[in-house]
Amino acid sequence: MTRPFRQQVDESILDQAAALFARRGVAKTSLQEVADAVGLSKTGLLHHFPSKDALREAVVAQANSLGQRVLDQVRDLPVGVDRDRTALEVLVDVAFAHPGMVAMLLIPVARGGDDVVVPGPTDGGVGGAAFDAFGVDPVIPASERAVRVAGALAALAVLSLAAHHDDQISTWRPHIVATCFDALGHGRVARSGSDQVED
């Protein structure tokens, strides 16, 4: 198996595992369920990840890697409108490419519990990187900006999952970005029949 293909297969496994972990929790998700979701035998899955613990650790590592990719694309921009717009564009693309990770990131918000896989906003991962991308420290007491960022991220997650589920990624993408941009407190104006953001 060539390296790019193997990486693509591994990413697919990790995203399916993340989706199952989100739905059922790690403890209640079997390796057989993950194997079935990706069309492998259990032995084939174990060839990629030798145990459920290894799979769980790989999911966390993938979340951290995705978070780093987001930060790499906005790091050099000053905090403000342009950085917000770029961060939203990047995060929407990440969300569409990795819906299982997005579902898993919603678990602490939706139901909490001890069976959460991805590190919280203070520990890294896509969640922590998302706050960092907007220049917000999630550890300090909540400010209006922090609440707006949290609202925009929650909307982005829910809407991207719905768009993915309904196979409407390209149709919904500009509307998701515009909605999240509004949630951040930036205005919108309709020009030439399409929604575009204004500063």
- Residue 92 pLDDT greater than 70, yes or no: yes
Domain containing residue 14: CATH number: 1.10.357.10
Residue with tokens 């819906």: 99
Kindly report, residue by residue over 103-134, the tens digit of the pLDDT: 888 765 554 445 445 444 444 455 678 888 99
Residue 98 near residue 13, CB atoms below 8 Å: no
The residue range of the domain holding 160 is: 3-197
Kindly report, residue by residue over 19-76, the tens digit of the pLDDT: 999 888 888 999 999 999 999 999 999 999 999 999 999 998 898 888 889 999 999 9
Task: Name the helix (H) or strand (E) containing 184.
Answer: none
Threshold 0.85, pTM exceeds: no
- Tell me the sheet residues that pair with 194: 191
CA 89 to chain centre: 12
Structural domain count of the chain = 1
pLDDT at residue number 117: 52
Buried b (16+ CB within 10 A) or exposed e, 63-93: bbebbeebbebbeeeeeeeebbbebbbbbbb
Task: Tell me how far apart the alpha carbons of residues 58 and 16 are, in angstroms, rounded to a whole number.
Answer: 12
Kindly report, residue by residue over 169-198, the tens digit of the pLDDT: 999 999 999 999 999 999 754 333 344 444
pLDDT at residue number 199: 42
pLDDT at residue number 137: 81
Task: Tell me how far apart the alpha carbons of residues 32 and 95 are, in angstroms, rounded to a whole number.
Answer: 26
